[in-house]
Amino acid sequence: MATNPFFTTFAQIFSMTGKDIKRAKELLESGQLVAIPTETVYGLAGNALNEVAVAQIFKVKNRPSFDPLIIHTSSFERIHDYAVSNAVAEKLAEECMPGPLTLLLPKKPIISDLVTAGSNRVAIRIPRHPLCNELLHSLAFPVAAPSANPFGYISPTRAQHVEDQLGDKIPYILDGGPCEVGLESTIVGFENGLTTVYRKGGVPVETIREIVGDVQVKSHSTSNPSAPGMLKSHYAPRVPVKLGMDIKLLDKYPAEKIGTIRFTTPLDGIPEKNQLILSKSGDYAEAARNLFAGMRALDKLDLEIILAELLPDQDLGLAINDRLRRAAAE
Ligand code: TXA
Ligand code: MG
């Protein structure tokens, strides 16, 4: 049967996922939420200058209001409208923006306390995903966007991931394909003149160090996320995750109920379909790209336990290990 153009159009208008930037723009301008692609993970976006939209983000995500949101804009010039910059920030921005870097800077009054959860610093990022950037460029306001997953679960790296979990709660998902980086942005701020990494992410710590010199890393694992709010248990699938390849656990569960997350090679004796191999060639960027989608796929299998192997602590291995540790945290 030939496709009926009426129904094609009808389907496009009412489909909740697509590449329609104009529709995304109109929804955001009217105060509604749209899931947006970025090179790190998909975000749940709303007008950052509209408190009703911002409140709606917390509600849809089921996110506690003490956990602040990152705002997204299209150029470094625009950052100056929302925050107070400094020389080191400018240097980092020059090298890493647009890209998977978030800067934590003193906020200007235009940014509400709702966005920053009462903090006087605002987190700002300029994504480098072309579709996202085109959208942000067309808007007169920045968008606040946490990762587009229910609070505490694995971040989405495909439009389908968002649709699976938030599909009935938001009007539109802008589909930008699979995320190129696959891990959230690296969050960098400044404390007593020292450049501080608060969340390991898509820009390796080594790169930050090369650009600015001295860097302290403060990845929180507290259950009281003052600022920045980084909870110990996060990125967690439903199936319990255990770090290391504990032989006792291998005996405790039948092989078909065990899943693994490994860097380059599978574990003997476990069915292949239960094993997430992050990168056969040992490539960190590929591993990062595969991590969240792979964890979601494992979580759909009927497993009782997932054994995760930590990667070497270098490059994006640091950020991947951070996510694995949080996924395994009680
Ligand atoms: O790559 C990313 O950063 C993605 C994409 C969508 O941009 N966003 C993202 O947002 O990961 P979210 O909300 O899932 O994680 C943001 C983290 C949280 O841990 C939050 O506590 C911290 O950033 N954060 C945001 N604003 C902050 C602030 N003003 N002070 C301290 N921490 C802040
Ligand atoms: Mg998140």
Is residue 152 included in any domain, yes or no? Answer: yes
In a domain, 226, yes or no: no
Residues 190, 253 within the same domain: no
178 and 42, same domain (yes or no): yes
We report the CATH number of the domain holding residue 75 as: 3.90.870.10
Q: Are residues 177 and 108 in the same domain?
A: yes
Place of tokens 């975000």: 43
User: Among 165, 184, 217, which residue terminates a domain?
Assistant: 217
Residues 212, 280: one domain? no
Q: Taking a C-beta distance cutoff of 8 angstroms, is the pair 121, 189 a contact?
A: yes
**Closest residue to atom 12 of ligand 1, CA basis:** 146
Residue 225 falls within a domain, yes or no? no
Tokens 């030939």 correspond to 2
Instruction: Give the CATH number of the domain where residue 293 resides.
Output: 3.40.50.11030
Same domain, 207 and 246: no
CB 154 within 8 A of CB 164: no
Residues 169, 261, single domain; the answer is no
Gyration radius of the chain's alpha carbons: 20
- Tokens found for residue 320: 């991947």
Euclidean distance between the first and final Cα of the chain, in Å? Answer: 54
Residue 229 pLDDT: 42
State the Cα–Cα distance between residues 292 and 290, nearest whole angstrom.
Answer: 6
* Domain co-membership, 260 together with 199: no
Model pLDDT, residue 237: 85
Nearest CA to ligand 1 atom 29: 122
157, containing H or E segment: none
Name residue 261's beta-bridge partners: 276, 308
Within-domain flag for 228:
no
Helix or strand (DSSP H, E) at 36: strand 34-36
Residues 277 and 132 in one domain: no
With the most atoms of ligand 1 within 8 angstroms of its CB, the residue from 111, 115, 184, 224 to mutate is 184
Residue 273: how many CB atoms within 10 A of its CB? 10
pLDDT tens-digit readout, 150-192: 998 999 999 999 999 999 999 999 999 999 999 999 999 999 8
Q: How many whole angstroms separate alpha carbon 132 and alpha carbon 201?
A: 19
Task: Answer whether residue 180 is part of any domain.
Answer: yes
- Residue 121 CA, ligand 2 centroid: distance in Å: 18
Asked if residue 223 belongs to a domain, the reply is: no
State the distance from the centre of ligand 1 to the C-alpha of 230, rounded, in angstroms.
Answer: 9
Are 28 and 160 members of one domain?
A: yes
**Residue 170 neighbours by CB under 8 Å, 6+ apart:** 16, 32, 33, 34, 35, 44, 60
> Computed from CA positions of residues 264, 209, 132, 169, in that sequence, does the dihedral angle turn out positive or negative?
positive
Q: Atom 6 in ligand 1: which residue has the minimum CA distance?
A: 43
CA of 183 to the centre of ligand 2 (A): 10
- Each residue's pLDDT tens digit, 41-88: 999 999 999 999 999 999 999 999 999 999 999 999 999 999 999 999
Q: Residue 227: its pLDDT value, please?
A: 40
Cβ(228)–Cβ(68) below 8 Å: yes
In the chain, the number of structural domains is 2
pLDDT of 223 reads 42
Claim to verify: residue 185 and residue 298 sit in the same structural domain: no
Q: Which domain, by its residues, includes 130?
A: 5-217
- Assess if residue 270 is contained within a domain: yes
Q: What is the pLDDT of residue 225?
A: 47
Looking at 201, 217, 233, which one is the last position of a domain? 217
Q: How far apart are CA 182 and CA 202, in angstroms?
A: 8
Say if residue 158 is in the same domain as residue 114: yes
- Residue 235 located in a structural domain: no
207 and 268 within one domain: no
Q: What pLDDT does 269 receive?
A: 93
Ligand 1 atom nearest the C-alpha of 116 is 29
- Among the candidates 183, 202, 217, a domain finishes at 217
- 180 touches ligand 1 (CB under 6 Å): no
Residue numbers of the chain with a pLDDT score lower than 50: 1-2, 222-229
